[in-house]
Amino acid sequence: MKIAIVILNWNGEVLLERYLPSVIQYSQGADIYVADNASTDSSIDFLNNNFPQINIIRNASNGGFAKGYNDALKKVEADVFCLLNNDVEVTPNWLVPIKEVMENRPNVDIVQPKILDLMRKDHFEYAGAAGGFIDQLGYPFCRGRIFQELEKDEGQYDDIREIFWATGACMFIKSGVFHVLGGFDEEYFAHQEEVDLCWRAKNVGYGVYYVGTSKVYHLGGSTLSNMNPKKTYLNFRNSLFSITKNLPRRKALLIILFRLLLDGVAALRFVFQAKFSHCLAILKAHLSFYTKFRKMYRKREKSSFLKNYYITKSIVWSHFVDGVKKFNILIKD
């Protein structure tokens, strides 16, 4: 199995200097690429001067995560693509469990490892933790991370199991599957495009898995932090995109109507917290969604839609009303 590790970079010279050495050291047998999204810093010069063995792909523009990878992966030949953030530190033998699972289980098409917090290495990290899920209303969450509650890693998720979505911070995907799906939806630009990709994959029968015997450490927030209103905008808008595209028509419309109410509550919460820019970001997200609704609706899968896509009706209710902070407690309920 030929693996190509493709690191998307935009003005990330400092991150490449810090984290690329671990990727080179611990990724024997894999080809390593840096796909540069038209950086204006000296990332390219840094790579040429310090890591001449790295393959460099120069994208013509900064099209965000989605277009950046779509453009770059057209130029990469491999059985499996590993999409890796430039702020990820990998560990010894991290590729071995992934390769074993993808080679020996034919139904495994997309995989993520355990994602731990680089600043607190005994805790799960926000972006992907121990595998992603969504609730009935389309809100994403992870094992090991529910909203801002991050669990300590005590081996509770050292398993191999099917999940709903794999994080784009470190995602392995069979190249044929990526191309059949048409890659990422470039309308997303960034954030939750991997949720949409995995949802589309599951709708047509591909398997998405978590392999907890492989682990990496993620810095997170190096492009957009959780405090950035643009991230709020993209998350709220793109979540509505995914619902529109990936659910049966009647269910999608009902959920979108209910999300209007819940997103309004979220906007009011930001007002009470004096985070007015985030409240405005939610409003802009909905305006953008309405503008592009028809376009998103035309992208709906023509195959049968996945019926059992969620494991809880409302993660918002479970967390903020019932006080659930851990995934295992959520499942018991």
Residues 23 and 163 in one domain: yes
Shared domain for 244 and 197, answered yes or no, is no
pLDDT of amino acid 122: 96
Task: Give, for 55, the enclosing helix (H) or strand (E).
Answer: strand 55-58
Cα of 327 vs its chain's centroid, Å: 18
Mean pLDDT, range 49-72, rounded to an integer? 96
Sequence-distant (≥ 6) Cβ neighbours of residue 127 within 8 angstroms: 115, 167, 168, 169, 218, 220
pTM: 0.94
Range of the domain at 265: 229-332
Does any domain span residue 137? yes
In a domain, 223, yes or no: no
What is the three-class DSSP state of 181?
coil
> Is 224 part of a structural domain of the chain?
no
CATH of residue 49: 3.90.550.10
Within 13 Å of residue 199, how many CA atoms lie on the same side as its CB?
A: 30
Residue 333: predicted pLDDT? 47
278 and 188 both lie in a single domain: no
Instruction: Read off the tokens for 86.
Output: 């430039």
pLDDT of residue 300: 84
**In terms of domains, do 140 and 251 share one?**
no
**Shared-domain flag, residues 189 and 235:** no
Across 150-159, average pLDDT: 96
Say yes or no: 28 and 155 in one domain.
Answer: yes
Q: Which of 205, 213, 206 is nearest to 174 (CA)?
A: 206
Judged against a pLDDT cut of 60, whether residue 311 lies above it is answered with yes
Which of 190, 218, 246 corresponds to the end of one domain? 218
Q: Is residue 58 part of a domain?
A: yes
What is the total count of domains within the chain?
2
The answer to whether residues 183 and 234 belong to one domain is: no
Express as a percent the part of the chain with pLDDT over 70: 97
Residue-wise pLDDT for 69-120, tens only, equals: 999 999 999 999 999 999 999 999 999 999 999 999 999 999 999 999 999 9
Band (pLDDT 50/70/90 cuts) for residue 48 is: very high
Q: Both 238 and 98 in a single domain? A: no
Section 318-331 average pLDDT: 91
pLDDT digits (tens, 9 = 90+) for 199-251: 999 999 999 999 999 999 999 865 555 678 999 999 999 999 999 999 999 99
pLDDT, one tens digit per residue, over 17-36 is 999 999 999 999 999 999 99
Single residue among 195, 218, 241 that ends a domain in this structure: 218
138 plus 258 within the same structural domain? no
65 lies in the same domain as 214? yes
Q: State which of 165, 187, 218 marks the end of a domain.
A: 218
In the chain, the largest separation of any two C-alpha atoms, in whole Å, equals: 56
111 is a domain residue:
yes
149: which 2 tokens?
């509650």
Q: Are 303 and 127 in contact (CB under 8 A)?
A: no
89 and 114, same domain (yes or no): yes
Q: What are the C-alpha distances in Å from 217 to residues 29, 134, 224, 247?
A: 21, 23, 18, 33
Residues 129 and 265 in one domain: no
